[in-house]
């Protein structure tokens, strides 16, 4: 096999990993959007079976990406820059899988809220969900084109999500104290808000990994997110 053919084969393999990562991200985004769409809908709740099926598909993509990377490492013996790309893709896939887990948890709490029947103000949570969805869509676009400038901008905007989360979370705590009859659904919203904030953190992780993949630079943060939920 000549060198040109070897390089082309590696580039095709790397493109395949990126394509699977983007498909995984798109599925994760749809899962999050579906969960958030039912927040203000008093008549319809998410389908728990569909939620689990979507989450399983995301898990399958993560396993596929890990297998593809292992095959490339075994067969192609990539150099430093290419190795950095492969490892970054694996880390991105892990964060996308965590996002999907949070989306599943959000949907299941929305199901419980519908079953409970308490009427609560979800406007703050909806605003937070919209902001997080926009961040996720933006980072997937940046990954597709290796857009480092966009990744840095997304990374910087995480502070806006944190501030919105804190306001929404505090508002729900006040609502819980003021209207005790809605305590159950207010508590569900508190957990939903926290899941959305964590999704924002995982998006930020993907942004960091994209910058590292392209430039080799590690962006400075006090601590990377470690989320086992």
Flag whether pLDDT at 228 surpasses 50.
no
Dihedral, 208, 194, 161, 25 alpha carbons, nearest 10 = 50
Answer whether residue 161 is part of any domain. yes
Copy the structure tokens of residue 177.
Answer: 């104290």
Copy the structure tokens of residue 49.
Answer: 């079976």
Residue 170, domain CATH: 1.20.58.220
Answer whether residue 227 is part of any domain. no
Answer whether residue 29 is part of any domain. yes
Answer whether residue 229 is part of any domain. no
Residue range(s) defining the domain that contains residue 58: 3-215
Q: pLDDT exceeding 70 applies to what percent of the chain?
A: 90
pLDDT at residue 6, as a whole number: 60
Copy the structure tokens of residue 76.
Answer: 């192609």
Torsions phi, psi of 39, nearest 5? Answer: -60, -45
Dihedral, 140, 207, 87, 28 alpha carbons, nearest 10 = -40
pLDDT digits (tens, 9 = 90+) for 166-196: 999 999 888 888 888 888 999 999 999 999 9
Answer whether residue 223 is part of any domain. no
Q: Which residues contact 47 (CB under 8 A, 6 or more apart)?
A: none
pTM (two decimals): 0.89
pLDDT digits (tens, 9 = 90+) for 78-89: 777 788 999 999
Q: pLDDT exceeding 90 applies to what percent of the chain?
A: 59
Answer whether residue 220 is part of any domain. no
Copy the structure tokens of residue 24.
Answer: 């995984």
pLDDT at residue 60, as a whole number: 96
CA dist 161 and 131 (Å) reads 7
Answer whether residue 27 is part of any domain. yes
Average pLDDT over residues 134-147: 97
**What is the number of structural domains in the chain?**
1
Answer whether residue 167 is part of any domain. yes
Name which of 39-48, 85-94, 177-186 the model is least confident about.
Answer: 39-48
Q: Is 160 or 117 the better-scoring residue by pLDDT?
A: 160
């Amino acid at each position: 096999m000549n060198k040109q053919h070897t390089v082309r084969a590696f580039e095709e393999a790397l493109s395949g990993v990126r394509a699977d990562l983007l498909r995984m991200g798109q599925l994760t985004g749809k899962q999050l959007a579906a969960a958030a769409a039912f927040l203000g809908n008093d008549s319809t709740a998410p389908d728990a079976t569909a939620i689990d099926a979507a989450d399983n598909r995301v898990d399958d993509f993560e396993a596929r990406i890990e297998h593809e990377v292992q095959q490339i490492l075994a067969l192609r013996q990539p150099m430093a820059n290419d190795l950095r790309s492969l490892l970054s893709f694996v880390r991105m896939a892990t964060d996308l899988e965590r996002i999907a887990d949070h989306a599943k948890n959000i949907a299941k709490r929305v199901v419980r809220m519908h079953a409970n029947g308490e009427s609560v103000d979800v406007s703050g949570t909806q605003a937070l969900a919209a902001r997080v969805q926009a961040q996720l869509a933006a980072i997937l676009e940046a990954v597709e084109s290796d857009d480092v400038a966009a990744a840095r901008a997304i990374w910087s905007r995480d502070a806006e999500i944190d501030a919105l989360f804190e306001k929404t979370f505090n508002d729900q705590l006040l609502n819980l104290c003021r209207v005790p009859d809605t305590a159950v659904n207010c508590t569900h919203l508190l957990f939903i808000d926290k899941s959305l904030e964590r999704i924002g953190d995982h998006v930020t992780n993907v942004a960091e990994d994209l910058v590292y993949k392209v430039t080799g630079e590690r962006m400075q943060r006090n601590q990377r997110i470690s989320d086992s939920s």
